[in-house]
Amino acid sequence: MRRYLQQLFNVRREEVVPVLWAGFYFFCVLTALMMLRPARDALGMQRGIESIRWLFVGTAVATLMVNPLFGWLVSRFRRLRFIAASYLFFALSLVGFYLLITLAPGSIGLTSGQVFYVWFSVFNLFATMLFWALMADRFTLDQGKRFFALIAVGGTLGAVFGPWLAGQLAQPLGTAALLLISAAFLVLALLSAWRLAASQAPGADAPAGQGRPHADALIGGSAWAGFKAVFNSPYLAGIAGYVLLMTLMGTLLYFTRLQMVAALGDDTDLRTTIFANIDMITQLATLLIQAVIAGHLMKRIGVAATLALLPLTMALGFAGLVMAGSLAALIVFEATFRAIQRALTRPARETLYTVVSREDKYKSKAFIDTFVYRGGDLAGAQLEGALAKLGLGLAALASVAVPLALAWAALGLWLGRWQSRYASSLAGPPAAPPTLSAAVDRSPSP
């Protein structure tokens, strides 16, 4: 039985405990986030869909302001300390929102709801970014291919458990109490991160060809190093471009959903219910993919093909949505897109960081996964808004989305090939990145 389970999940005996801790860590993070997400979306729509586009601007600015502070923490403190500082800050912020709601309920209004929208969006990005940064630091590229998708199952279970727990506790305890419960899960996530990092052997995280410092050695460097590295490295710039296109396309889909839900009426409770149901369907589909095929698929077809799968899904989905034009078709499309994104693309994208330096795993990754991510949101929101003002419908949106998705797929193939070359070179990365055509047409040289 043990041998069968190890073959089924691609996990060796000595890896079981760290994988379980990592899965529980992600479970706690996603439970904390998903308890509050439906309320975030409903609050954001109180002043209409146009206001959400401006909230995206506020979120992008906020992430840009927070990034240098996070870079300073990474430079000055050891890994577990800056991880702890980040999670405790967000937990204390939740306590602050709780006190505001309970002690000064008269001050809660549209503005405070929008502040919470921006804060939650920043919280969402940094909480998950820290998790995946530690995973790329803790595990090797081969391990990432084998069980990053399995670890992500813990997050999916948390994403299912969070909304369910919120539904069970909102009435007897009140909505404000959910903030404290979310903060408690963040503390559990921090404890899990400590336990996971403590099980790491010194030097186990260093990529091939680099020195092997202690796993929790001080990273050092500049607070701005993450910004500079992204613009100086073709590989990191490619990851940034992939994330930018991914979030831009996801935002086009997000606003299409908002438009269709808004057409159903102005009832905030109805909208929250619909958003929660979409999230639930998405999480169940994600769990099915993760449990059955994800771990074996990445190992069999490689990172490059896995990265190209989501863009191709987006292109086919928008084409199908134009033909169907219904909310039911949108729900199927979005559930499929989000399931592939979370079950396959996210683990594959995180393996890209297993071959870079420890400084880039935290600083450059933070810049890409927060500011570049929100920059894609902002670009998508403005693009969708411009098309809406011109009175153009789904067909026009698809005519823009499909070519962008094809370019996004080509970039995913290029990144996968470049990672393979980087990992196979004991002396470090090749002198120059492969061209896009080479990435698509041929396999990298050993």
What is the reported pLDDT for 87?
92
Alpha-carbon span 168 to 21, nearest angstrom: 26
* Closest by CA position to 196, among listed 157, 151, 129, 149: 151
Tokens 């409770």 — which residue?
269
What is the reported pLDDT for 49?
59
Residue 364: CA count within 13 A, CB half-sphere = 25
What is the reported pLDDT for 69?
83
> How high is the mean pLDDT in each 10-residue block of the chain (446 residues)?
57 79 93 79 60 73 82 82 90 87 67 75 85 86 79 85 81 80 93 84 42 56 77 91 92 80 66 70 74 69 89 90 79 83 86 85 86 84 78 79 92 90 59 42 34
Q: Angle, to 10 degrees, between the axis of helix 49-76 and the axis of helix 225-232?
A: 100
Alpha-carbon span 149 to 345, nearest angstrom: 9
**Which parts of 40-103 are beta strand (E)?**
none
What is the reported pLDDT for 27?
95
Q: Give SS3 for 78.
A: coil
Alpha-carbon span 152 to 250, nearest angstrom: 20
Q: How many CB atoms lie within 10 A of CB 258?
A: 19
Alpha-carbon span 125 to 283, nearest angstrom: 18
Please name the residue ranges forming H helices in 174-233: 175-198, 225-232
123 with 93: CB under 8 angstroms?
A: yes
The domain 12-200+224-441 is placed in CATH, from the list 3.40.50.1370, 2.30.30.40, 1.20.1070.10, 1.20.1250.20, at 1.20.1250.20
Tokens 């600015």 — which residue?
61
Residue partners of 157: CB distance under 8 A and separation at least 6:
27, 30, 287
79 with 137: CB under 8 angstroms?
A: yes
- Tokens representing 196 are 């996971």
Alpha-carbon span 80 to 88, nearest angstrom: 12
Domain residue ranges of the chain, discontinuous segments joined by + = 12-200+224-441
What is the reported pLDDT for 26?
93
Q: What pTM was estimated for this model as a whole? A: 0.73
Alpha-carbon span 139 to 136, nearest angstrom: 6
Alpha-carbon span 380 to 384, nearest angstrom: 6
What is the reported pLDDT for 185?
95
86 with 71: CB under 8 angstroms?
A: no
